[in-house]
Amino acid sequence: MARIAIVGVGTIGGVTAALLQQAGGHELLLCTRRPMSGLAVETPDGLVKLRASFTTNPTETFNVDWVIVATKAYDVAGTAKWLEQLCSNGAPVAVLQNGVEHRERFAPYVPMEKILPVMVDCPAERQVPDRVRQRGVMHLKVPDSALGRDFVKQFTGTPADATTVPDFLSVVWRKLCFNSAGVLSALVLQPAGVVRGEAMGDVALQIIRECAAVARAEGANLEENVADVVLAAQRAAPADSVNSMLADRQAGRSVEIDARNGVIVRLGRRHGIATPANSMAVALMEAMVAKV
């Protein structure tokens, strides 16, 4: 088994750690911003209490076999402080973040061939600082490469749906179609059920269609009716579910607006594709979270 460091032990990092513990044999090092003495994850199969080493000091880490990054997309500079020591023996870095620019964010700090982008999808929420609730299966999709296959192997024997995929570009853009409409919950400070209304549903469709148009220009293969499929799935989700952007805004933290909607605007501009719904969402969110 492997020595694995997880940088960022929030909702996704906590669930990932619980899964790796279930694999058995891994030595886990959990790198956190604030001191933690323990963490429990309420999984669909029961409560998992983590047995791991915790540290808040990048200089007190050791080299590992894998680094898993589960921080927010806006916190790359803070994350990078951990990588020099953790990757001193050339450990690869798996990036479990939102958006489609995983490699681009970490290229200044890690050799490109050592960066593994990961599409992660898991319904989960952090209830209190030392407890996470996992509502369903964690899906982890990675490019079909030697690095991707080794990453998937670390989850052998766990309930995770960890697989390699031949067309990662399409997978990650399809996930962004889901994430892009999540900005509406964060803007109005209401959980997922808000898109069940006709007016909000129409706006969600506009946001998703713009995302899909940019995705296709980037080379992704998405079905023609992807926006309708995504909205139907969002409306079928638990009405009280809270996405990470809404949770961050409720907690007064920074939000991943650039990784989730800003990238659609930026790449749309590059391809000459109009993105008025996403542009408005970005402008509104940036104004709402701006420090006065």
Q: For residue 31, what is the enclosing H or E element?
A: strand 27-31
For the question of residue 153 being annotated catalytic, the response is: no
Q: Which amino acid type is present at position 217?
A: A
User: Which pair of structure tokens corresponds to residue 130?
Assistant: 């030392």
Return the structure tokens found at 80: 């990078």
208-210-216 Cα angle (round to 5): 100
The C-alpha atoms of residue 31 and residue 29 are separated, in whole angstroms, by 6
Residue 73: both structure tokens together:
């997309």
Tell me which of 114, 153, 175, 291 is the catalytic residue: 175
Active site residues: 175
